[in-house]
Amino acid sequence: MTPNRPDVSIITLNGKTPQIDDSAFIAPGCRIIGDVTIGPDSSIWYNCVIRAEVNRVVIGARTNIQDGSIVHCDGPMPGVEDGFPTIIGDDVLVGHNVMLHGCILHDRAFVGLSSTVMNGAVIEGDGMLAAGAMLTQGKRIEAGQLWAGSPARFVRDLNEAAIAGMRLGVAHYVENAKAHAAATAEI
């Protein structure tokens, strides 16, 4: 499903070319630039920008970055020699219009729509950041926790039904991406 279309930009920058698994879905309007890796069965939805010219962005398997989201990273700086890459694990749900910047999302993390996750912030597996929230620099959502607000704060532990719902969402997006890939293949 890797695009070779004029409506998607895959750009080599600073000698780094995005590495996109052939099974990944990249929707029309996306811009993917520099040191980016996208794993199998992941989906990057309409009009997303993933830009990695000063560090790297890694997206695991079966992860979805939904419409209008921006993923970036930060380069080395005083006191932070490695800078802030953005590392996104497997089976991660990232809602519409999200900003991810120099953060780490472990396997099965969830980021609600219109949220922001800043440099050095971490969301552990089965952790959830609510819609519209801002996880500020260096904050950590532990496994199974829900955080909300701006700045985000701990709200409660997630129950098994909420965690199961996130896993269903991952499966839905893998299948939905296949349908969209077929529909957009002729563009």
Q: Name the least confident of 1-10, 64-73, 75-84, 178-187.
A: 1-10
In 64-114, DSSP assigns E strands to 64-65, 70-72, 86-88, 93-94, 99-101, 104-105, 110-111
Residue 163 in any domain: the answer is yes
Mean pLDDT of all residues in 154-180: 95
| Domain-located, residue 1 | no
> What is the distance between the alpha carbons of residues 34 and 162, in angstroms, rounded to a whole number?
35
3 lies in some domain: no
Question: Does residue 2 lie within any of the structural domains?
Answer: no
Residue 121 has pLDDT above 80, yes or no: yes
Is position 78 within any domain?
yes
Instruction: Give 1's pLDDT tier (boundaries 50, 70, 90).
Output: very low
Residue 13 to residues 35, 44, 99, Cα–Cα distance (Å): 8, 20, 21
Residue 178 has pLDDT above 70, yes or no: yes
Q: Is residue 153 part of a domain?
A: yes
Per-residue model confidence (pLDDT) at position 23: 96
Any domain includes 105: yes
Q: Residue 67: give its domain's CATH number.
A: 2.160.10.10
The answer to whether the peptide bond before residue 151 is cis (omega within 30 degrees of 0) is yes
In the chain, the number of structural domains is 1
In terms of DSSP bridges, do strands 43-44 and 9-11 run parallel, antiparallel, or are they unpaired? unpaired
- Say if 4 falls within a structural domain: no
Which structural domain, as residue segments, surrounds residue 59? 9-184
- Evaluate if pTM is beyond 0.85: yes
Structure confidence at residue 164 as a pLDDT band (50, 70, 90): very high
